[in-house]
Amino acid sequence: MKTLLATLALTTALSAPALAAPVTLTTNLSNYGGDGAYLALYVTDSKGVYKGSLWMAGGKAKYYKHLSDWNRATGGNTAEISGITGASVGAGRQLKITLDLADALFDAGYELHIDAAVEDFRDSPSEVVVPLTRAGANKPVAGRHYIQDFTYGL
């Protein structure tokens, strides 16, 4: 009986962190010389099908259409980003978010996308697309226009 309890305690202790892990998403913006950038961070499966949003930087829903891949996938539905919406991010600034994410997201073919938009500048959908793998953690990925680099840390 004691062994059973001990085994149970051990497996519980082991399986708990296997279900969820705090993941830190760090986005550094380049000095593009414009206003604060709107960023949508979201996850797709390996076929590019939208699974859900992780963060929305920028509070005004009327600008979300400029995050065009995210907007197409969600129909601009703000319920997708309820509770995970924050401020837009200034040029040259850093956005660092720590989220408790399902462990099943890693090494399962999922990809993290970042759409970026800046007022009076070109929209930049899927500026960053990075496969979510344990091996890829802590390795900065460069963006194209507004994002200097993006890193996810486990």
Partner 1 sequence: MKKYLIATTFLAGIAAAGVALADDDDCNVAMSNWQPREAVKAMAEAQGWSVRRIKTDDGCYEIDGRDAQGREIEVKVDPGTLAIVEMEYEDDDDDDDDDYGESRQNAAPAGSVAPPDNGLFTPGSKPVVKQ
Q: Partners of 38 in the beta sheet? A: 117
Region of 7-15, 34-42, 122-130, 141-149 interacting with partner 1 (CB under 8 A): 34-42
Among 40, 67, 101, 128, binds partner 1 (CB under 8 A): 101
Compare residues 85 and 151 and give the one whose CB is closer to partner 1.
85
Exposure pattern of 86-123 as b/e (b: 16+ CB <10 Å)?
eebbeeeeebebeeebebebbeeebbbbbbbbbeebeb
Q: Which of 44, 71, 88, 124 binds partner 1 (CB under 8 A)?
A: 88
Candidates 91, 97, 137, 154; binder of partner 1 (CB under 8 A) is 97
139 lies in the binding site for partner 1 (CB under 8 A): no
Query: Is 154 an interacting residue with respect to partner 1 (CB under 8 A)?
Result: no
Task: Tell which positions 56-85 bind partner 1, by CB under 8 A.
Answer: 57-63, 78-85
Beta-bridge mates of residue 10: none
Based on CB atoms, which residue is closest to partner 1, 24 or 136?
Answer: 24
CA distances from 23 to 51, 79, 128, 138, 152 (A): 17, 22, 17, 10, 7
- The site for partner 1, by CB under 8 A, has a size of 46
Q: What Rg value do the Cα atoms of the chain yield, rounded?
A: 18
Residue window 104-133: x/- pattern of binding to partner 1, with contact defined by CB under 8 A: -x-----------xxx--------------
* Structure tokens given for 68: 């065009």
Using CA of residue 68, residue 73, residue 79, residue 81, what is the dihedral sign? negative
Report the interface residues with partner 1, using CB under 8 A: 19-20, 35-38, 43, 51-55, 57-63, 78-90, 93-102, 105, 117-119
